[in-house]
A and B are shown apart, each in its own frame.
Chain A
């Protein structure tokens, strides 16, 4: 069997959670006889990832994404099943594996807040026992790739979120990990910042063949960066295929929110466009961008009445997943 970056077979995780009934009576009862409930966060997932793949892991909150990643990084022990990352069993060889994987959590920063990123980089060099010269060379490479030269000695608290995220990713790459786990790396970022991070991730993958495991709520992250998508819902994998397939089948729906200058006199009717909701001054529409081009739909809407504001977005991840689930 070729050397897989990540191999997961029948991995499952059940949590035992304390359950408290609402109200005062519930509180009292919980003290006397606490009731426990089994929560199956992950129900037997299996997948294999080749070295160098860029995989997106998406799913609604509570679907089991974080739990899966925690098992792959060795933080949690599974209830059942097997997994190897770079040939090591994560929860048995956590420290050994840690030398070769990197992680960035969008919500949990690694950089020391009051100090410049440079100081954290130096600390990470110690954490990963990096040779001084090699570290300096590596740092220079990454600084150039992620364009963070001017940020190196600015205290992290003074950096914008986008700048901080780029530094966070650099910190996670100093030790040349073979697998990189990114959890919501673009959350809260503006369009330009998102683009920068996505580009840098792709470059990283192209140049070094780093296997990348990306979780995100942002469909754009998945679309633009990942070549393969795994969708997890209620602890199970409901989709595991190339992004192109996902796009072709599900990401073509577009939602249009429009506000008009004048009150609408009659029902909004545009061929190929479905009206989700219509109010006096505005409407929410949807259409399939494979059936009708975005440009022509907008032109039709604007022709219908004078627009004050128009907004086009992808359907929320939950809806995409619902569609897949129902398919």
Chain B
């Protein structure tokens, strides 16, 4: 038994060793690809530091400089780390492989989601590790209360799911159009403004803020980032409401698109 135990430990040690080596390689690769978060964070600290100094205020629209910096970190991490499976879907459609995988909508998309989630969590964790030293240096510790973290996590998850749905919609458009990459690019650019990635929605003119508040884009980036830096229960409930409405709409659209795709596959035979 003693020998068995030692053999077992050795075996799992070997597997863990290989896994660790693989993971280290993957981590190193991701890190070396992720210098832009460091670049962006640095640029943002300088830009917004200058703005606050010039305006000679401690708060703009309810956000301090520290808030703003942490806001950008959260937003960037979400944006860069998001699940990007639209290229996979597009390729599956183009190659016809989708005929085999398009069994049931929840299975197909669920598979992509769980696949993507694992990678996303690691990526976001790494991005957070890379970007937070800069935020810490310029803005100190973030102003978050432990009690609020679960609620923030919910909105965070909501953001990932809403984004996932939109990306899925884009990917499945490959049945209709040749170049879904352009669609994703357009979506990305919309999020830059209406998702609050380049400028917190709080700083936008009233009218635009209201429009942005009604659209799903702010759910993917602005909502969790804003709640992180200045949590308010009413804001949380409102975002949850919006989230529920938009999820319903997006999932409805997805199932429509799905059924249409399945019918098209059946007719064209893949």
Partners in one complex: yes
B interface majority secondary structure? helix
A interface majority secondary structure? helix
Residues of B within 8 A of A27 (CB): 21
Residues of A within 8 A of B20 (CB): 24
CB proximity of A25 to chain B, nearest CB, Å = 10
Residues of A within 8 A of B17 (CB): 24
Please give me the residue from chain A that is nearest to B18 by CB atom.
A24
Residues of A within 8 A of B21 (CB): 24, 27
Bound state CA distance, A282 and B17, in angstroms? Answer: 45
Interface string of B164-188 (1 = CB under 8 A from A): 0000000000000000000000000
| Total contacts A-B at CB 8 Å | 4
Please give me the residue from chain A that is nearest to B17 by CB atom.
A24
Interface string of B1-42 (1 = CB under 8 A from A): 000000000000000010011000000000000000000000
CB proximity of A24 to chain B, nearest CB, Å = 5
Residues of B within 8 A of A24 (CB): 17, 20-21
Bound state CA distance, A94 and B155, in angstroms? Answer: 65
Please give me the residue from chain A that is nearest to B21 by CB atom.
A24
Interface string of A9-52 (1 = CB under 8 A from B): 00000000000000010010000000000000000000000000
Please give me the residue from chain B that is nearest to A24 by CB atom.
B21
Bound state CA distance, A24 and B15, in angstroms? Answer: 12
CB proximity of B77 to chain A, nearest CB, Å = 30
CB proximity of A228 to chain B, nearest CB, Å = 48
Bound state CA distance, A24 and B20, in angstroms? Answer: 9
Which of A285-306 touch B at CB < 8 Å?
none
Please give me the residue from chain B that is nearest to A25 by CB atom.
B17
Which of A242-260 touch B at CB < 8 Å?
none
Please give me the residue from chain A that is nearest to B24 by CB atom.
A24
Which of A233-291 touch B at CB < 8 Å?
none
CB proximity of A29 to chain B, nearest CB, Å = 14
Bound state CA distance, A24 and B19, in angstroms? Answer: 11
Please give me the residue from chain A that is nearest to B20 by CB atom.
A24
Bound state CA distance, A24 and B25, in angstroms? Answer: 11
Bound state CA distance, A24 and B18, in angstroms? Answer: 8
CB proximity of B18 to chain A, nearest CB, Å = 9
Bound state CA distance, A27 and B24, in angstroms? Answer: 12
Bound state CA distance, A24 and B23, in angstroms? Answer: 12
CB proximity of A215 to chain B, nearest CB, Å = 36
CB proximity of B221 to chain A, nearest CB, Å = 38
Bound state CA distance, A299 and B175, in angstroms? Answer: 57
Bound state CA distance, A24 and B17, in angstroms? Answer: 8
CB proximity of A72 to chain B, nearest CB, Å = 39
Bound state CA distance, A27 and B17, in angstroms? Answer: 13
Bound state CA distance, A113 and B159, in angstroms? Answer: 43
Bound state CA distance, A27 and B21, in angstroms? Answer: 10
Which of B38-64 touch A at CB < 8 Å?
none
Bound state CA distance, A27 and B20, in angstroms? Answer: 13
CB proximity of A82 to chain B, nearest CB, Å = 44
CB proximity of B6 to chain A, nearest CB, Å = 20
Bound state CA distance, A80 and B157, in angstroms? Answer: 65
CB proximity of A304 to chain B, nearest CB, Å = 46
CB proximity of B39 to chain A, nearest CB, Å = 26
CB proximity of B49 to chain A, nearest CB, Å = 38
CB proximity of B24 to chain A, nearest CB, Å = 8
Bound state CA distance, A24 and B16, in angstroms? Answer: 12
Please give me the residue from chain A that is nearest to B25 by CB atom.
A27
CB proximity of B14 to chain A, nearest CB, Å = 10
Provide 4 A-B residue pairs closer than 8 Å at the C-beta atoms, listed in order of the A residue: A24-B17, A24-B20, A24-B21, A27-B21
What are the 4 A-B residue pairs with the smallest beta carbon separation, nearest first? A24-B21, A24-B17, A27-B21, A24-B20
Query: Which residues of B are at the interface with A, using a C-beta cutoff of 8 A?
Result: 17, 20-21
